[in-house]
Every structure is written in structure tokens, then in C-alpha cells.
Amino acid sequence: MIAIVDYDAGNIKSVEKALVYIGEEVVLTRDKDTILGADGVVLPGVGAFGEAMDRLNAYGLSDVLREVAKRNIPLLGICLGQQLLFDESEETPGVKGLGILKGKIKRIPDTGLKIPHIGWNNLQFPNKGRLFEGIPEDSYVYFVHSYYLESDDPKIVTASCEYGCTVQASVECGNIFATQFHPEKSSDTGLKILENFVGIVKNKQV
């Protein structure tokens, strides 16, 4: 069973539908015991960094997610869910992220391209991770974001794309996985990424 963390994030239902489509048993929940008892956990996210952290803290979910990381339960952050795993964001200075991984979220620089970055972009694999098994380099996925990750450790970055800067589009560190893009909106490539995460969950490959 995969628990999708319910903290009023906007893309929860689409993530649920995608996982159900590939045959997974899922539950939307903010119950601590349910999350910690799950085989895998998904942290979705759409919106502002500070508001999302406020909700996670208000629901008592920040410490639960840190415990998920400690217990080696596979955890997948999606879009804002990737950003929340890190220390801080330029979007809301002074607000602390989950701090599960080390790095900062920065605003996409103004280079004449539209911000937010909305639409399809192709991926490169600087350190190809397990989420991308069977997926060729230059595959296209769907993005909606104005901020991007700058990880302290480039070795955990498994996918990137270019949009006015190098966007660190996915990370993998032990049992922690995350994507800046939306696999649930990325057609067959996105479904394959979710299937790969489910395979990791089922095989306990962390």
C-alpha cells in the first residue's frame, strides 16, 4: 500500500488516479500510523513553499515525513514535494523546509523565457537513477514551476533539464526520490516513472 500525504496539496487526486491506473492500492491520509505503516509514501505538492510547510507543520506531518526517511520507507516527492524535502526556498525566506536533504530552492533566473516554466521539457541523466530504468535520455516530461533545486550534493541529482538555467529535475538518495516535474501528467513516460517507484517499493530496494 502506498500512502499519499494529504495536506491539501493541489495535485493529490491526479497522483492518486495515476497510481490506481497502474494497479496500485493507495490511500490519501494524514494519519501518522497509516503513513508510517505504508510500504511507500508519496509527497505531492502544488503552490507556495511557505504555505505548504505551514500546512505540514499544522497537521503534524513534518516530523512524520522525517521519520519516514529514517525508517528507510521509500518516499517520492513530486513538484513542490521535491522542494519541501530540502532546507529552504527563496520563495519564502526564513521558512525552514523538511531538511531531509541538503540544498536550497532558487527562483528561475529571468533570461527572457516565460516564468513559470510550464510545459514539456526533455531530460538529461547526469547520474541516472532507478526511477528512470527503461526510459531513454531526452524523454519529455511535464513541468509547472517558478523555482528550482540547487542541491548541496550534485551526486544525488539523477535528471536535469535546461530552462534559463540547469534545473535539477530529479534526485535519489537512499530511500528518498523526488521529481520537479509531474510524472502523473507526463503521459507514458510519467507512468513508467511511477511504475519504477512502485517496483522499488515492492522489492524493498533501498
Q: Which of the four pLDDT bands, split at 50, 70 and 90, describes residue 191?
A: very high
Annotated catalytic residue 184: yes
Catalytic residue among 79, 145, 161, 195: 79
Annotated catalytic residue 137: no
Lowest mean pLDDT among 10-14, 41-45, 95-99, 152-156: 10-14
Domain count, the chain: 1
Catalytic residue among 91, 161, 173, 182: 182
Instruction: List the grid coordinates of 55.
Output: 500546512
**Spatial distance between the Cα atoms of 125 and 138, rounded to a whole number of angstroms:** 9
Tell me which residue range forms the domain holding 22: 2-203
Burial 155-170 (b: 16+ CB within 10 A, else e): ebbbbbbebebebbbb
User: Could you give the percent of the chain with pLDDT greater than 90?
Assistant: 94
Could you tell me if 137 and 170 are in contact, meaning their C-beta atoms sit under 8 angstroms apart?
A: no
User: Could you give the percent of the chain with pLDDT greater than 70?
Assistant: 98
Lowest mean pLDDT among 11-15, 58-62, 154-158, 182-186: 11-15
Q: What are phi and psi of 126, to 5 degrees?
A: -65, -35
46-92 tens-digit pLDDT: 899 999 999 999 999 999 999 999 999 999 999 999 999 999 999 99
Helices (H) and strands (E) in the chain, counts: 6, 12
What's the pLDDT at 195? Answer: 98
**Does the structure show a pLDDT above 60 at 144?**
yes
Q: Which of the four pLDDT bands, split at 50, 70 and 90, describes residue 161?
A: very high
| CATH number, position 162 | 3.40.50.880
**Does the structure show a pLDDT above 70 at 126?**
yes
What's the pLDDT at 91? Answer: 97
3-27 tens-digit pLDDT: 999 998 767 999 999 999 999 999 9
Summarize the confidence of residues 111-117 as an average pLDDT.
96
Catalytic residue among 91, 172, 184, 195: 184
Annotated catalytic residue 117: no
**Does the structure show a pLDDT above 60 at 205?**
no
Could you tell me if 29 and 69 are in contact, meaning their C-beta atoms sit under 8 angstroms apart?
A: no
